[in-house]
Amino acid sequence: MIKIALDAMGTDTFPSADVEGAVLAAREFDYEIVLVGKSELIEKELEKHRPVPENISIHHAPEVIGMHEQPVLSVRRKKQSSIVVLTNLAKEKKVDAMVSAGNTGSMVCAATLKCRLLPGIERAGIGVIMPTLKGTALMIDSGANIDAKPKHLMQYAIMGSAYSEFILNNRSPRVGLLNIGEEESKGTGFLKEAYGLLELSGLNFIGNLEGRELFKGDCDVIVCDGLVGNVALKVSESTAHALVEMLKRELKSSAMAKLGAMLSKAALYSLKKKMDYAEYGGAPLLGIDGTCIICHGSSSAKAIKNGIRVAGEEVIKNVNQHIVEKVT
């Protein structure tokens, strides 16, 4: 049975959503789930979910890395933290995959240091699945590595393509380079060099992609460096949030609008769900010799469950092997 370790100290309200997510996953999937964190806290939380599924176990880790701790330092100093213990389990192949909603930087750092990278890969990248008008797209890197070189972007493209093909079921995924304009001549020297590499990569490279095309759905894998990707991701989340806030205010502005809002409530709810990245089950950290899913700190139990589901799928579909075959 596939064994997945979950950081029980991950979400902003740990361990409640984490443990509940694990319970939901254990009931729904044939995975063995190992909850990593303070055992007494986890046990207490599990009490709320009786009967506790048999495919859940606890692995004690007494320390917790906070959301705002510095990645490298926190991993070096807190050797008994849930994140470090989690990655040790993965490194020693005691589990097949790991899932965490904790400090992203620390998770990336620990996973890269402990599990090392796949042969041919020089930098890990975080792939985020974004909703588009036609389905979803994977954006990589959304913040694992902010000092990328052009060749790293090509490696992201290879990893993203493998993920898109085997997990998101896109045959021959279209790869686009996030840039300031569509023409080949656009962008910095860094981007032009990446463009050249992508053209020669043998991937289904469709050229530069402007920020405005992110949600059109004409591209399956959006490649960018970690700084640009992080800004793009957070700006899109924040735009969606601001828009929904503004809409709520507008809908409260008159009795007519209020009634309208009531009637269209289901539609609004469905939209909110579509814009909710958590639904898609976390972001894969691609490039490490292991399987790691990073969830949002604000993840719900359902989002954690989906993260566990996707981690299992990645193992079953052998995504890493496909990456290695393509890159070497």
The answer to whether the CB of 6 falls within 8 A of the CB of 18 is yes
CA 268 → CA 125, 150, 252, 259, distances in Å? 33, 41, 14, 14
Q: How far is the CB of 282 from a second copy (least distance, A)?
A: 17
Q: Count of residues binding a second copy (CB under 8 A)?
A: 67
Helix (H, G, I), strand (E, B) or coil at 22: helix
Residue 173 interacts with a second copy (CB under 8 A): yes or no? no
Task: Go through the chain and tell me how many residues it has.
Answer: 328
Helix (H, G, I), strand (E, B) or coil at 251: helix
The only residue of 13, 80, 264, 318 in contact with a second copy, by rule CB under 8 A = 264
Q: By C-alpha distance, which of 294, 247, 319 is closest to 71?
A: 294
Question: How far, in Å, CA of 278 to CA of 259, rounded?
Answer: 30
Residue 171 interacts with a second copy (CB under 8 A): yes or no? no
Question: How far, in Å, CA of 79 to CA of 115, rounded?
Answer: 15
The only residue of 102, 160, 226, 307 in contact with a second copy, by rule CB under 8 A = 226
Residue 216 interacts with a second copy (CB under 8 A): yes or no? yes
The only residue of 151, 180, 318, 328 in contact with a second copy, by rule CB under 8 A = 180
Closer to a second copy at the Cβ: 57 or 70? 70
Put residue 217 in one of left, alpha, beta given phi > 0 → left and psi -120 to 50 → alpha: left
Residue 316 interacts with a second copy (CB under 8 A): yes or no? no
Question: How far, in Å, CA of 80 to CA of 255, rounded?
Answer: 56
Q: How far is the CB of 237 from a second copy (least distance, A)?
A: 6
Q: How far is the CB of 40 from a second copy (least distance, A)?
A: 31
φ/ψ of residue 57, rounded to 5: -135, 170
Q: How far is the CB of 179 from a second copy (least distance, A)?
A: 8
The only residue of 270, 298, 318, 328 in contact with a second copy, by rule CB under 8 A = 270
Closer to a second copy at the Cβ: 92 or 147? 147
Q: How far is the CB of 104 from a second copy (least distance, A)?
A: 10
Residue 298 interacts with a second copy (CB under 8 A): yes or no? no
Residue 240 interacts with a second copy (CB under 8 A): yes or no? yes
Closer to a second copy at the Cβ: 141 or 314? 141
H or E segment and range at residue 205: strand 204-210
Task: Give the list of residues 6+ apart from residue 197 with CB closer than 8 angstroms, or none.
Answer: 150, 151, 153, 154
Question: How far, in Å, CA of 157 to CA of 155, rounded?
Answer: 5
Q: Where in 275-294 is the site for a second copy (CB under 8 A)? A: 275
Closer to a second copy at the Cβ: 40 or 250? 250
Helix (H, G, I), strand (E, B) or coil at 80: coil
The answer to whether the CB of 208 falls within 8 A of the CB of 181 is yes
Dihedral sign from CA coordinates of 107, 145, 151, 282: positive
Q: Where in 15-54 is the site for a second copy (CB under 8 A)? A: none
Q: How far is the CB of 228 from a second copy (least distance, A)?
A: 5
Q: How far is the CB of 224 from a second copy (least distance, A)?
A: 8
Q: How far is the CB of 142 from a second copy (least distance, A)?
A: 10
Task: Give the list of residues 6+ apart from residue 71 with CB closer than 8 angstroms, or none.
Answer: 103, 105, 106, 108, 109
Residue 219 interacts with a second copy (CB under 8 A): yes or no? no
Binding site for a second copy (CB under 8 A): 68, 70, 105, 131-133, 143, 146-147, 178, 180-181, 183, 185, 187-189, 191, 210-216, 224, 226-228, 230-247, 250-251, 253-254, 256-257, 259-268, 270-271, 274-275
